[in-house]
Structure 1
Amino acid sequence: MAASAAAGAGGEPQKQLLSIICDFAAEKSHGERRVSDLKRRLDDVRAASDAAAAELEAAKRAREDAEQELRGSQVQVAIAAASIQALEATISHLQEEISKVGSDLDALKGKGNIERDEFISHMNQLNSKIRQFQQTVSVELKGEKCSELPSGGGKQGQHVRDGSEIMESEGILKDLIDKASNVDAELHVLEEEYQKDLLNYDKVRQELADIQAKRALMEAVMGEMKQLQELGEYPFLVLSEVSEPVTSTYI
C-alpha cells in the first residue's frame, strides 16, 4: 500500500513536467507560426512600401515635368497676350485709317460729282454758243452778197467777239477736262488704298482670331497641367497610408 502510494506520489511531478513540456512545445509552435506570419506580413508591407516609393518618385518626376511645361506654357501665353494687344492696336489703327480714307473718298466723290456737273453745264453752254455761232455764220453767208460795206465791218467785229468767246469757252472746257481727269486719277488712287487697307484689316483680323484660338488652347492645356500637378501629390497620401500598418506591426 505504501509502495503504491509512493509510486503515485513520484508520478505526479512527471505528469506535471510532461504537461509543462507539452504546453511549452505548443506555445513555441504557436510563436513560430506567429513570427512566420509577421515576417510574411512585413515582407508584404516592405514590397508595398517599395512600390509606393517607386510610384512616388515617378510622380515627382511627372510633377517636375508638368511644372516645367506649365512654366513654358505661361511664357507662351504671355507672348500670345502681348501679340494680341499689338494686333488689337494695329486693328484700331487700321480702322482709323480706313475711316479716314473712307471719309476722304466720300469727299472726293462729292467733289468729283460737283465738278462733273459743272463740266456738263459748261459743255451745254458751249454747245449752245457753238450752235448760235453756226447759225449766225450760216445766215451771214447767205446774206453776204446783199450786205453793204459799212455794215459788213460791224458784222465782222461780231464774228471776232463770238470767236473770242468760243476760244475762251474752249479754254474753260480744257481746264475742266484736266480737272476731271485729275479727280478721276485721285479717286482711283484712293480706291486702291482703301481696298488695300481693307485687305490688311481682314488679314490682321484673321491673325488675331488665330492667336486667340491658340491662347484658348494653351489656357486649356495649362488647366490640365494644373490638375496633373494636383494629382501628383496623391502618392504622398498612399505612402503615408502604407507606413501606418508597418509602424503598428513593429509596435
Structure 2
Amino acid sequence: MFDETSRFPDLPNAPGVGYKPQHFQNIMDDAGVVGWLEIHAENYMGAGGRPLAQLRHLAERFPVSVHGVGLSIGGEGALDAEHLKRLKHLVDWLNPTVFSEHLAWSSHENAFLNDLLPLPYTNDTLTRVADHIDQLQEVIGRQMMLENPSSYLAFAESTWAEPDFLREVARRTGCGLLLDVNNVFVSATNLTYDPRDYIAAYPLDLVGEIHLGGHDEDTDDHGAPLLIDSHGKPVVDPVWALLDHTLALSGPRPILIEWDNDVPDWPELESEAARAAAALAKVPA
C-alpha cells in the first residue's frame, strides 16, 4: 500500500492541454483559459537540449502533469528497469504535480507495440497490476493515477467489471484514478453498453483528473459502429454531454484536452479548452 503522506498535490480545477512544442510561444505569450499542461514522459527522457529547457520554463509558470505511455503496467512481464530509472530521473528533475499511466499493456518480451491494449479483468490480472503499481510508486516515491482504457473487445474470462477492477486496484495500492471520458464513450459504443451506467459505477471520489479527446468513426466486419481513440480531432458533442453528466456527479475536476495527432494551431486547441472551462463553470464548487 502506498504511503498517503507522499501523495501528489492536486491540479487546479481548470482546463489543461497536452503540450506540443509548436505551441510553446503561444502558451508563454497568452495561455488563455489553460491552467495546466500535460507532457508524455517518453518525450522528455533525454539529456538536455531545447525540449527540456522549454519544459523548465513552462514548469515555472504552470502545474505539469506527466503522463506515461510506455510502462506496460498490465503486461505479463516485469516492468522495464531502465525505463523506470529514466522515469525516476525525469520526475526528480521536473517535480511534476501529477504522474499517470494506463491500465493497459504495450510490450511483450522485447517487442513494443504501437498501441495500448486492454486486459482481461481477472484476479490474476489484478494481482499483477497492483504489484506493478506498487513497484512504480516505490521507485518514483509518489502516488500515481491509473487511467481507464479504450476497449475494442471484451474478454470472456473477465470476472470483474472495469469500474470495480479499478476501484480494487486503487484500494490495494493507494493510487488515484484518471477518468478518460472519451475512452468511456468509445468503449461503451464498441461493447454496446450505456456510458452513463459506467460513470454511475465508477469510483468518482478517487478521480484526480479527467481526459477528453477526439476519436475516429468506423464500422466493424458486421457493419456495427467502431470507434477508435485517435486523439486527432475535436471532442464530439456526445462526449461533451457525457462530461457534463460526469461533473454533475463528481463535482469540478481538472480537465485535459488531448490532441496528439494532426495537431491544430493554438487557437483551435485553446477553444477546446475554453469549452471545458464552460463545462466547469456550470458545476457547483
Query: Could you tell me the TM-score, scaled by structure 2's length?
Result: 0.15
The alignment's TM-score, normalised by the length of structure 1, stands at 0.17
Structure (1/2) with the larger helix percentage: 1
Larger radius of gyration: 1
